[in-house]
Homo-oligomer: A and B are copies of this chain.
Amino acid sequence: MNEKIKYDGLTCPIPKSDYNRVLLAHGGGGTLSHQLINKIFLSQFGNEILNTLHDSALINVDSNRLAFTTDSYVVHPIFFPGGNIGELAVYGTVNDLAMAGAKPLFISVGFIIEEGLEIEELWKITVSMKLAAEKANVKIVTGDTKVVDKGKGDKIFINTSGIGIISPDVSINPVNCKPGDKIILSGKIAEHGIAIMSARENLEFESAIKSDTAPLNFLVEQMLQTSNKIHVLRDPTRGGIATVLNEIAAQSNLGISIEQEKIPIAEDVKAACEILGLDPLYIANEGKLIAFVDPEVADKMLKTMRSNEFGKDSSIIGVVTNENPKTVIMKTSIGSNRIVDMISGEQLPRIC
């Protein structure tokens, strides 16, 4: 029973027998997301730019190298400790541009509002976006507003797309990864995901855990001024650092070895993860980046990162290896080795 879906002569690579409807996990950033994106979207839209699947597309317009990116934000709830959907939407797209080594310039905003959203909530979100754009030094230059009937949306969804410019000497690409490259993480993990979770479930921890949502473009600018021997930059949002490291291992065809003890995590976040039975490696961050840098410049880069407010807890968490290609291995606190795999979905849906 391998019934095929066909349209206009084109056959869907996912047979009907696998599943015939989109599941929540298809949006989780894990293996099911990858399957949907590869088999459905890439099989049809694929081209040399899209196929790289970077956070930003690298496009050439005349002599300019531009980065172009898009993200829709469907986070629930729309207000959470440390931020709201508005600033998240601005910083998220700013960060996707920065991860291509681009200087973010212009942002578009598309609102899909559910009928009945309070004007007061919309005002708060709008003001937060304005302040976030100012903080990140980007201009909101174009927009669109749609309203859908009550019950056909969830308060507000926001799409932001962005354009940035990349300096000619910057080359950030997973294929640049080399054995020996040091892996630097810019700070404490899992804060955004746990903040959303606690807001959603009305959980109270001893201290309020806040989302780490922040613009990373100035940190990246400083890093590129320190050295352009940065091979990869990624922000570990949906799916956490585990997912990002697995993606880079797969794309570079190299192994990744990390040390659990080197991964910064706040005590309260760690405790919350233990209570909730969640693995912080898979939890979303919204103000952190992972850099793969030439070993020669690693110490200097670490110093630069620590000098920036958004990188003050930076740590070298691991190294790229020839062994175990396409695999992420973590030396645990008790000295054993653990394979850090992709998971099929997101532990927390609608995290961003």
A201 contact set on B, CB distance < 8 A: none
Q: A239: shortest Cβ distance to chain B, in Å?
A: 13
Q: A132: shortest Cβ distance to chain B, in Å?
A: 11
A268 contact set on B, CB distance < 8 A: none
Q: Complex Cα distance A119/B41, Å?
A: 12
Q: State how many residues of chain A have any CB contact under 8 Å with chain B.
A: 91
Copies in the complex: 2
Mark the stretch among A2-10, A180-188, A223-231, A301-309 that contacts chain B.
A2-10
- Whether the pair A40, B126 counts as a contact (CB closer than 8 A) is yes
Q: Complex Cα distance A28/B26, Å?
A: 32
- Whether the pair B140, A7 counts as a contact (CB closer than 8 A) is no
Q: A257: shortest Cβ distance to chain B, in Å?
A: 30
Q: Does A266 contact B (CB under 8 A)?
A: no
- Whether the pair B72, A110 counts as a contact (CB closer than 8 A) is yes
Q: A69-B108, A106-B68, A142-B56 are contacts. A27–B154 as well, Cβ < 8 Å? A: no
List residues 135-178 of chain A with CB under 8 A from any CB of chain B.
Answer: 139-149, 151-154, 157, 159, 161, 163, 165
Q: Complex Cα distance A35/B37, Å?
A: 39
Within 8 Å by CB of A112, from B66, B106, B112, B165, lies B112
Q: Complex Cα distance A38/B122, Å?
A: 13
Q: A14-B119, A72-B159, A159-B72 are contacts. A27–B146 as well, Cβ < 8 Å? A: yes
A129 contact set on B, CB distance < 8 A: 44-45
Q: A57-B108, A113-B22 are contacts. A72–B127 as well, Cβ < 8 Å? A: no
A63 contact set on B, CB distance < 8 A: 62-63
A10 contact set on B, CB distance < 8 A: 123, 127
Q: A230: shortest Cβ distance to chain B, in Å?
A: 21
Q: Does A233 contact B (CB under 8 A)?
A: no
Q: Does A105 contact B (CB under 8 A)?
A: yes
- Whether the pair B148, A70 counts as a contact (CB closer than 8 A) is no
Q: A31: shortest Cβ distance to chain B, in Å?
A: 14
Q: Does A124 contact B (CB under 8 A)?
A: yes
Q: Complex Cα distance A64/B165, Å?
A: 12
Q: Does A232 contact B (CB under 8 A)?
A: no
List residues 106-124 of chain A with CB under 8 A from any CB of chain B.
Answer: 106, 108-120, 122-124
> Which residues of A are interface residues toward B (Cβ below 8 A)?
5, 7-8, 10, 12, 14, 16, 19-28, 33, 36-37, 40-41, 44-45, 47, 49-50, 54, 56-57, 59, 61-64, 66, 68-74, 76, 105-106, 108-120, 122-124, 126-131, 133, 139-149, 151-154, 157, 159, 161, 163, 165, 349-350
> Can you spell out 16 A-B residue pairs with CB atoms less than 8 angstroms apart?
A22-B115, A22-B119, A22-B147, A26-B145, A33-B145, A49-B139, A62-B165, A66-B163, A68-B106, A68-B108, A68-B163, A70-B142, A110-B110, A149-B350, A159-B159, A161-B161
